[in-house]
Amino acid sequence: MSKHHSTQLTRRQFLSRGAMAAGAAAAPWLVPASALGRDGAAAPSERIVMAGIGLGGRGSYDLSVMLAQKDVQWAAVCDVLKERRQATKRAVDAKYGNADCATYSDMRQLLAERTDVDAVLIATGDRWHALASIWAMRAGKDVYCEKPACLTMAQGRMVVETARRYCRVYQTGAQRLSEPHHVFAIELARSGRLGPIHTVYADCRWRDGNRHDWLPAEPEPPKDELDWDLFVGPSPWRPYNHGYLHSGWYHFYDFATDVAMWGAHTVAQALAGLDMENVTSIEFEYAGPGATIMTRLSNGVKLVLYRTSGSVWEPCEYWHGACGERFEGSEGWAAAADGYSRTEVSSPSLLLDYNKTLADYTARTQRPLSHVRDFLDCVKSRRAPVANPEVMYRSMCICLAADIVGQLQRNLKFDLQKAEFVGDPEANRLRSRAMRAPYTV
């Protein structure tokens, strides 16, 4: 160092450098308020990073609800249809004003690469619901999965076991368990205000066919446009036909269920109003193809799986609209279905404390009257959602047992505790289906 240059700081240099340091310390105040959790936005540490798998009709609705939540950051979307995944990316990017949403055609790649994702929405075709949920939970993701949650009892049990083993939050999309008019009907039954419940009805409308054939082969589209092998997934291999697309698949046994198509909602709603702790078995009475299935629980309650092949909005004597349930007790009845502004009841006096009953429910359970919000809150708290794996499994076992009654066309008795039919090996073999490699657990 030259003798003309001193290593000591002058007062002016000290003050100058101090000002620069102060400016640097103040720099974080220039970060957008949203990144700090201001202006109503959630701070990064409070945000739930999400991805979606299968985002068609129902999935696009779920996505819109989740995008509206301030503590959700949508990061990636996956769909075997290029047109659909690009449309979903545009919707997500438009929400955030950027182009950051990643796209995938194969969920396995998404689950392996996106270690930043906390939770996934699964709204694929029914054949994928259980397997996709299991894969996601094994990858450390919490899961919101549309109904029906499984095609078989064996699959449903694996979802329960996987959620437990990996300590994952799982909510099935039986959203009416969180809607006010359904909750009020359930609360009337559960609280005893209808008297002892003797009969419960669940809307299990017969859909247009439960076909065991398959459609003729057509030329497959390019794999980049539609990955047909991934579309078929764990189901038996079937040649491509455009008739399977856009919900056409749900007419075919290979890809779907029958009673569980509607019953995945309504049986869960019916059971929520009953004391099921000591119910050990259920007897099913077969009455013909597509006919209403009468059942009796071991506690004497009659559970009616109501069926009609008419329009889902066709009025019936128990409710109007779709996805209805009705509780009948010694002191009156209550019913709810889609399109209701309030629960329908046998006496106006039952509605006098409508708002208080709902307020008491939210206070007692600490649950919002929003199914998506319940899931997101549980992702943060790590408590079980309202439509948790055990709730899903019990209701799906009853629906799938009813499907087997229809297939075998005979009365059956089902042990709810063991999840097996009593004295019927043929029925018990139908509790599972083979899964096509490599789409297996």
> What CATH number should be reported for the domain holding residue 70?
3.40.50.720
Return the CATH number at 204: 3.30.360.10
Scanning the structure block, which residue is given the tokens 């003729």?
216
Same domain membership, residue 46 and residue 185: no
pLDDT per residue over 98-144, tens digit each?
A: 999 999 999 999 999 999 999 999 999 999 999 999 999 999 999 99
pLDDT score of 146 more than 70: yes
Count of positions (residues) in the chain:
441
The DSSP line for 53-96 is: E--SHHHHHHHHHHHT-TTEEEEEEE-SBHHHHHHHHHHHHHHH
Q: How many CA atoms lie within 13 A of 171 on its CB side?
A: 26
Same domain membership, residue 324 and residue 181: yes
Percent of the chain with pLDDT over 90: 80
Same domain membership, residue 189 and residue 306: yes
In a domain, 12, yes or no: no
Same domain membership, residue 413 and residue 289: yes
What 3-state class would DSSP assign to 50?
strand
Number of domains in the chain: 2
In a domain, 414, yes or no: yes
Same domain membership, residue 202 and residue 136: no
In a domain, 231, yes or no: no
Note the pLDDT of residue 23.
42
* Over residues 71-96, mean pLDDT: 97
In a domain, 5, yes or no: no
pLDDT score of 2 more than 50: no
Same domain membership, residue 203 and residue 310: yes
**Mean pLDDT, the chain, whole residue set:** 90
Same domain membership, residue 297 and residue 378: yes
Among the candidates 157, 172, 187, a domain finishes at: 172
320, burial (CB in 10 Å: exposed 0-12, middle 13-18, buried 19+): middle
Non-local (6+) Cβ contacts of 416 within 8 A are 279, 280, 281, 282, 298, 394, 397, 398
In a domain, 21, yes or no: no
Confidence of residue 321 (pLDDT cuts 50, 70, 90): confident
CA 116 – CA 111 distance, rounded (Å): 10
- Contact by Cβ (8 Å): 292, 305: yes
28, burial (CB in 10 Å: exposed 0-12, middle 13-18, buried 19+): exposed
Same domain membership, residue 395 and residue 271: yes
pLDDT per residue over 231-251, tens digit each?
A: 999 999 999 999 999 889 989
pLDDT score of 305 more than 80: yes
* Over residues 254-261, mean pLDDT: 90
In a domain, 71, yes or no: yes
Confidence of residue 309 (pLDDT cuts 50, 70, 90): low
Same domain membership, residue 182 and residue 107: no
Note the pLDDT of residue 29.
41
Same domain membership, residue 262 and residue 165: no
In a domain, 23, yes or no: no
pLDDT per residue over 276-292, tens digit each?
A: 988 999 999 999 988 99
Q: Which residues pair with 342 in a beta bridge?
A: none
Q: How many CA atoms lie within 13 A of 394 on its CB side?
A: 20
Among the candidates 124, 156, 172, a domain finishes at: 172
Structural domain containing residue 402? 177-209+256-429
Same domain membership, residue 130 and residue 202: no
Which is higher by pLDDT, 303 or 315? 303
Same domain membership, residue 196 and residue 282: yes
In a domain, 412, yes or no: yes
Confidence of residue 331 (pLDDT cuts 50, 70, 90): very high
